[in-house]
Structure 1
Amino acid sequence: MKLYSKFVFLTCSLAVIACNQPNNTKNEKPDPAEQRRIDSLETVKKAEEEAKKKPRTSEDIKLSKDLAYDKHTLEESYPYKDTNRVFQLDKIKEKLALVENFQRAPASYVVLQNHKNKNQEAPLVKKYKRNEYTRISDTLGNERYQSAPLYALGETERPSIYGRDGFLAKLRSSDTIPMVKIEGVSFEGTWETPKRYVKTIGDSVNFHHVVFVDVTNQNILTAERTGDCEWAIRSMNPATTGRHKPPYAQETPAGLYVVQEKKTKMYYYKDGTTNIEGYAPYASRFTNGAYVHGVPVNNPKGAIIEYSWSLGTTPRSHMCVRNASSHAKFVFDWAKKFNALVIVIE
């Protein structure tokens, strides 16, 4: 009887020990939601590693001419007065390689927004100066007006630089917290900025439509992605960009921007007043008050003007990019909001 009691005690003890051991059987399955999260993180990690290993270069870009808009078309090289102007296709290919590279890894994108300081005037940066327009700018030349403040990681007292309205970035934190972490696409580095200055546009967007504005040669080219590193030129036209003439006219700033807003008629004031002087047709805004638009009509009720002799000559706009009105309509219809880029090159 004593032997039987010892046997029962030993059996129960082993059972208790077995119950306390982790279940490592082959039949154990992880939670489906957790597994999807793990798989997603692994996919992103692999894509980021691959993108870093073999970045695309301009030599990888195949750029062909397949016009979707064929009015007022310029050749790749064309005469202007006593010189020649060109479409800087090599530089355009470099920028298209950048567009290819930043989209190779999945990401949640955001656009910096502060048009007319609607999200609050940005705080003063650590180092600033006043430009010829009497406005404050950072050491990179980005103005405080209409910009978002960018803080070095872990610093909250004062921002280091400004990020222009319309700049593109990747979200690197939750977008539900007061300060969000972003990695620049239009600018370098990883920074923090108050949530109110960013618009999340998600991880499903593809930037396959790009408008190139050349402030040196005064022309505009549109390109559409048709395959892996394959892009088609959809239009090649003359344009007129912004000029440096304080206090009102300002250059069209170089950089990479997201198309943010569209107006069939963009009404504008006479300089120094709040009186409406006229309108610009088919306007697509990409940064601050800069639009790609048609020929200005100096009459709020006037008819649309198709073309102007001044297109493709010298800068004469107030930061905007003027082009033929039918071409502006082409861009207006073709370049969707938060799904297309404007890249200004010099």
Structure 2
Amino acid sequence: MRRYSLFFILLAIIAFSACKQTPKKTDDPAIQRKKDSLERIKKAEEAEKVRPRTAADIKLEKDLTYNEHTLEETYPYKDTTRHFQLDKIKEKLAYIENFQRAPHNYAVLQNYKNRNGESPVVENFVRNAYKRVSDTLGTERYQSAPLYRAEDSAKPSIYGRDGSLVSLESSDTLKMVKVNGISFEGTWFVPKRYVKSIGDSLKITHVNFVDVTNQNILTVERTGEEEWKIRSMNPATSGLHKPPHQMETPVGIFMVQEQKAKMFYLGDGTKTIEGFAPWASRFTNGGYIHGVPVNNPKGKIVEYSWSLGTTPRSHMCVRNASSHAKFVYDTSKPFKSLVVVID
């Protein structure tokens, strides 16, 4: 009996060991298809997160919070029509969405009235219609920052406009810092004195679009992921190319840098204060978004001018109805908001 007992115990041990070594059965096809499907969904979600956004991804809805002097999307002008270039605006908003999705140490190029020193002459320079030194792209030396191809370059290659947004790629303790352009293309070296660091937490929620072709201004506010609301649609008057004093408003992406409740201006070619423009928000060089100019330093604010929305006639600035300039002044804070000039 003991022999039989031992025999059966041995058989049980062998059977148990065999069970442990038997590989698990492969999942049935339905379960495997479900696993594969979940894996594909996960990969698709990961790819969607990093996919560059396009104009088609931007949700842009009209939800005005400023309701004075409002223009329709398409409106008559003399014997033709003008419009708001919403497709181009969506393209710019997609670009803004894309650069904000990657980490950056943001900075702004600054040289208002050459306060940080006159830039050196670029390698290949020209004299423009105003008889001022410019690079071959048309950016003037005056009020700009020099951009060098390499840290040890003898001369800058081009100029970066005052108010241009960049990503700071090297320590700002150095004399010469490396930047990647956001407002312009390429990687460049810039003397530190022309670069104002604004940190890594910038979140652009307010953008002002100035259209120099259609002479209008549209403001937007970001309300969610790829979601923007149109807050105002107004007539505007941009800068006129008329040497030696009047200059066109440059096309590009600029940071709002400073604001003045009254921006006093001089008479052309003089040092005499001729008047003021109310609710001025400066974005590049001497270019401001501001209200209707008052040709009297002690005069009262004027709300509207017949010239708004007609033809360029300003000095680089963007004229608005004064209450709209106040709206921009209140919503677009310095170093937190953009002015995008399109043509």
Using the size of structure 2 for normalisation, the TM-score is 0.86
Question: 1:117, 1:264 → 2: CA distance?
Answer: 23
Q: Which residue of 1 aligns with 2:198?
A: 201
CA deviations on 1:192-228 (whole Å, 9 max, x unpaired) are: 0000000000011111110000000000000111111
Deviation at 1:248, TM superposition (A): 0.2
Q: Which residue of 1 aligns with 2:105?
A: 108
2:324 counterpart (320, 324, 327): 327
Q: What's the secondary structure of 1:103's corresponding residue? A: helix
Q: Kindly report structure 1 stretches of 4+ aligned residues shifted beyond 4 Å.
A: 49-53
Question: 2:176, 2:115 → 1: CA distance?
Answer: 18
Q: CA RMSD in A?
A: 1.2
1:285 counterpart (282, 290, 294): 282
Gaps of 5+ in 1: 1-48
Question: 1:311, 1:128 → 2: CA distance?
Answer: 36
Question: 1:92, 1:112 → 2: CA distance?
Answer: 24
1:244-283 correspondence runs (5 A): 244-283=241-280
Q: Which residue of 2 aligns with 1:236?
A: 233
Q: Which residue of 2 aligns with 1:315?
A: 312
Question: 1:51, 1:163 → 2: CA distance?
Answer: 34
Q: What's the secondary structure of 1:283's corresponding residue? A: strand
Does 1:89 find its partner at 2:86?
A: yes
Q: Which residue of 2 aligns with 1:157?
A: 154
The structure that has the greater radius of gyration is 2
Gaps of 5+ in 2: 1-45
Which one is further off, 164-173 or 49-58? Answer: 49-58
Letter in 1 for 2:88: K
1:297-312 correspondence runs (5 A): 297-312=294-309
Q: Which residue of 2 aligns with 1:60?
A: 57
Deviation at 1:229, TM superposition (A): 0.6
Using the size of structure 1 for normalisation, the TM-score is 0.85
Percent of residue pairs identical: 70
Q: Which residue of 2 aligns with 1:8?
A: none
Deviation at 1:50, TM superposition (A): 7.0
Q: Which residue of 2 aligns with 1:344?
A: 341
Question: 1:85, 1:307 → 2: CA distance?
Answer: 20
Q: How many residues align?
A: 298
2:210 counterpart (210, 213, 236): 213
Deviation at 1:153, TM superposition (A): 2.5
Q: Which residue of 1 aligns with 2:12?
A: none
Q: Which residue of 2 aligns with 1:42?
A: none
Question: 1:177, 1:272 → 2: CA distance?
Answer: 39
CA deviations on 1:60-99 (whole Å, 9 max, x unpaired) are: 0000001110000000000000000000000000000000
Question: 1:52, 1:166 → 2: CA distance?
Answer: 30
Contact persistence 2:261–2:279 (CA under 8 A): yes
Does 1:175 find its partner at 2:177?
A: no
Does 1:126 find its partner at 2:118?
A: no
Question: 1:119, 1:205 → 2: CA distance?
Answer: 24
Contact persistence 2:125–2:135 (CA under 8 A): yes
Letter in 2 for 1:92: I
